[in-house]
Amino acid sequence: MPLIFITGGVRSGKSHFAEQAAIQHFQAQPNIEKRLIYIASGIALDDEMEKRIDRHQADRLAQPIKWLTVEAPYDIAPVFETLKDGDVVLWDCVTTWLTNAFYEGYDCGAPCVTKPGCLASKLRTVKQAIQSLQTKNVTLLVVSNELFDEPPYQNEEVELYRRTLGQLHQWFVASAQEAYEMNYGIVKRWK
């Protein structure tokens, strides 16, 4: 399974780059049955996020190739289990999924981040699900935001989020065959 990790700042062009790369991988396998899948982790909690989701959906609809969109804001591992040989999958994005993981259960008064072992369990499950794809002929492109150029925050929860995301990014890069960073629409290949 090829794993391709793409990171960069907000609105740096990483989603567009990832979509184009996914289409290229999809088209490179002309004689096998396959699907082009977009795993969306975003939840429209405010107008800005709703507009971003709408823009991403419109971008995919404007392309000549049909995407299968799967909404997976929380439990992404079962989606990975449904993937088949030949599938090309774009997961956008890790940062929104991690935010969802941190605060899942907030509406009931017990967000995951406050429960001992909850977050570690979610991270372990995602990593295992991705590792299980090693046995399948699936191309997985993973998009995430780069949040490490700013000085540390005084808020302990924000710093926990940044540390967790940083560790997750390191795991993705170590596991990936290719790793890219986007800045201002410019691509830098690190691996």
Report how far residue 6's alpha carbon sits from residue 117's, in angstroms, rounded to the nearest whole number.
28
Report how far residue 7's alpha carbon sits from residue 150's, in angstroms, rounded to the nearest whole number.
16
25 is catalytic: no
Report yes or no: 34 and 88 within 8 Å, Cβ to Cβ.
yes
Report how far residue 83's alpha carbon sits from residue 108's, in angstroms, rounded to the nearest whole number.
32
For the annotated binding site, the residues are 8-15, 40-42, 71, 92
For the annotated binding site for GTP, the residues are 8-15, 40-42, 71, 92
Report how far residue 65's alpha carbon sits from residue 26's, in angstroms, rounded to the nearest whole number.
9
Closest CA to 179 of 2, 1, 12, 37: 2
Give CA torsion, residues 4, 112, 104, 181, to 10 deg. -20
**Angle in degrees, 0-180, between the axes of helices 156-175 and 94-103, rounded to the nearest 10:** 140
Q: Residues 16, 25, 56, 169: which is the catalytic one? A: 56
Catalytic residues: 56
